[in-house]
Amino acid sequence: MVFFLQGTIYNTTIVGNKISTNASVGIFKDTTDSYGDNMSDNEVNDIIEDSTGIVIRDSNFYNYFDKDGYFKLGILDESLVLILTHLTNKKIYVDYKMTLLSNGLANLLTNVTIIVTSEGAGSVIRDLNFYNTNVAAIILENYVESIILKNNNITIISDNNYTGSVIGIKIGQSENILVEANNIYISSKKGFVYGISVTDSTYVFSKYINITQNSIILVGDNLVEGVYTDSMSNSEISNNLINLWGNGFGYGVATAYMKGNVNNITIKNNIIVVNVKKMAYLIELHISSNITIINNLLEGFGSGVYGVALYNSDNVSIIDNEIRTTGGDLSGIGVNYDVLGSGNSAIFLTSNSNNTFVKNNIIYTNARYQIIINNTNTGDSNINNTNCTNNTKIDLNNIFFSKLFCH
């Protein structure tokens, strides 16, 4: 118990506190004049007690929002609390500092997308249940700052003939974003499926993005990608469970050069499992720099599998990972438009990937070559400086250990 009030106590104000406790109550009150006290909006173990927030449901939605999904009433307080219960076929624009949550009430948002604009800095979206068809659950537009997305359950099922992108959480150019403990499940037969996507239409990279403790399960027969970014720096992807299944191509974590180098990213403590019919890339870095890949469990199954694949990437450390790859017949992949191509290897370095440090990894693989270095320009020793040290290689057919195995 954090607050204990008893006896002759008057005009007490306890407002807006955040309380975490293992006691049965966070605030105990037994006073002579309880009605003269103000004890609203205290958050006890993630539930706001005596909330002054607005409860939003289908029946009253348009009392508060216009037809486009913008809050239409004047806002007097510094921030607004909206408690969402049951909503269908709605867009909600967060263009003011808002907290959107269920607050412990029964909650289901069906075909609802929450869109945070640049004016929504400092907003929180948590504890909501989404069930959508074809459309994203949460979108952060460009120039958004200081957002928390936490404890949301997101399910998206696409129509059988839908061939567009299906994204759980889409993040535009932004700063200081926490994406934590969300459960994302997406299934699509023909779509391009992304659990979390960090991409934008500007040339200013997102930074200080923390993607952590999320569960991402994707099923698709075309393309499935757990976490994708072409515009992120100074960020971390950690402690996530990423599980991908399908008959096409699968990427656990992927970076791509579109507007510049993705850089200064730490990928750590993740469990990534990719089981696809064609080509599996557990972690792929495309023209990226200053990346640390540490203490991940990576497991892939497919006609072809790369555990960690680098294309023209610099200053990458691959340390203390357990990498398991089981590849098959590359002829089953067919056309592959990825510049890294198709193949089988636990670690694959190509196209002048420089200053790569590979240390203390445990590798289980049926590939002929556990580590492949396929840099095309080796004329200048300064261009390619790759060290492989203290790697443990365990073949599925022959168990042995070697400190260095580079091809």
Percent of the chain scored above 90 by pLDDT?
A: 67
pLDDT for 386 equals: 58
Decide: 130 and 167 in contact? Cβ < 8 Å.
no
pLDDT on residue 47? 44
Whose CA is closest to 404, among 355, 347, 323, 352? 347
Check residue 76 and give its pLDDT: 57
CATH number of 54-395: 2.160.20
Tens of pLDDT along 365-402? 998 888 888 764 433 333 345 565 544 443 344 333 33
**Where in the chain are the domains?**
3-43, 54-395
State residue 79's pLDDT score: 76
Tell which residue, 188, 299, 293, has the closest CA to residue 243.
299
Residue 308: pLDDT over 60 = yes
Instruction: Note the pLDDT of residue 392.
Output: 42
DSSP state letters, 221-273: SSEEEEEEESSEEEEEEES-EEEEEESSEEEEEEE--SSS-EEEEEEES-EEE
Task: Give the number of C-alpha atoms closer than 13 A to the C-alpha of residue 55, restricted to the C-beta side.
Answer: 11
For the segment 88-96, the average pLDDT, to the nearest whole number, is: 96
> pLDDT tens, 215-253?
999 999 999 999 999 999 999 999 999 999 999 999 999
DSSP 277: S
Q: Which two tokens mark 167?
A: 């994204």
The pair of three-digit structure tokens given for residue 228, joined into one six-digit string: 């994708």
* Per-residue pLDDT, 44: 45
